Amino acid sequence: MPAVDPASPSAANSGTANSGTANSGAAAGPARDTPAARKAVLAAAEIRRALTRIAHEILERTDGAAGVVLLGIPTRGVPLARRLADRIEQVEGQPVPYGSLDVTMYRDDLRLRPARALGRTDVPAAGIDGAVVVLVDDVLYSGRTVRAALDALHDLGRPRAVQLAVLIDRGHRELPVRADYVGKNLPTSKQEVVRVLLTEVDGEDAVVLSRAAPAATASTGSGA
């Protein structure tokens, strides 16, 4: 049963879908000689500062992180949630529960790609009922991952409120979703790929902007 959901626009959040307009746009667009030009947008120190600021914003917005549960969205949201929890604990002296929320089974683009491996869902033992859940992800793009995360949360319990923290907001929303905490707003074109690299997963901290390679760019960190 192919194309059950033709209404869903291209699987834009992987950077794989180069539509026809995208190709013609690339021809007319600004001259870039190297197709895979890699530009570092954030260095390790800037990521560190952004996370520290987000941690303080969470503390302000939630009255000292009372009742807050940080849930990272795999892959790279999970170490980010852990780092935010560490920072909040350093400031307040109180540990903040954190975990991970895998949204793979709730995605609306499952049928567009081969079945993929699942990440781990690890909710703190106290659960999320009545908590202020802060979803943490690396890049906010179409908003579809966040939509899936809201569905996944719904099956786990009933939080008092849900907020969203992202390291990068690159625009191009396809759903009415916005972030409560943003590390950096990064205006991008749809032909570009944003990759967040984190020491825990990639061995280094950086945010890298590159042109979409014409071949399969199955970069996991590019979409949210």
Residues forming contacts to another protein in the complex (CB under 8 A) are 1-2, 4, 72, 74-75, 78-79, 100, 102, 105-106, 110-122, 151, 155-157, 200-201
HEC sequence for 22-34: HHHHHHHCCCCCC
| CA atoms 202, 205, 177, 133: torsion sign | positive
Residue 81: Cβ within 10 Å count: 25
Among residues 98, 130, 135, 104, the alpha carbon closest in space to that of 117 is found at 104
Task: Give the shortest CB-106-to-another protein separation in angstroms.
Answer: 6
Q: HSE-up of 183 (CA within 13 Å, CB side)?
A: 29
- Between 92 and 151, name the residue whose CB sits nearer to another protein: 151
Task: Give the shortest CB-127-to-another protein separation in angstroms.
Answer: 9
- Between 62 and 100, name the residue whose CB sits nearer to another protein: 100
What is the longest distance spanned by two Cα atoms in the chain?
Answer: 55
Task: Give the shortest CB-89-to-another protein separation in angstroms.
Answer: 18
- Between 104 and 189, name the residue whose CB sits nearer to another protein: 104
Peptide bond into 75 cis (omega under 30): yes
- Between 1 and 45, name the residue whose CB sits nearer to another protein: 1
Task: Give the shortest CB-160-to-another protein separation in angstroms.
Answer: 18
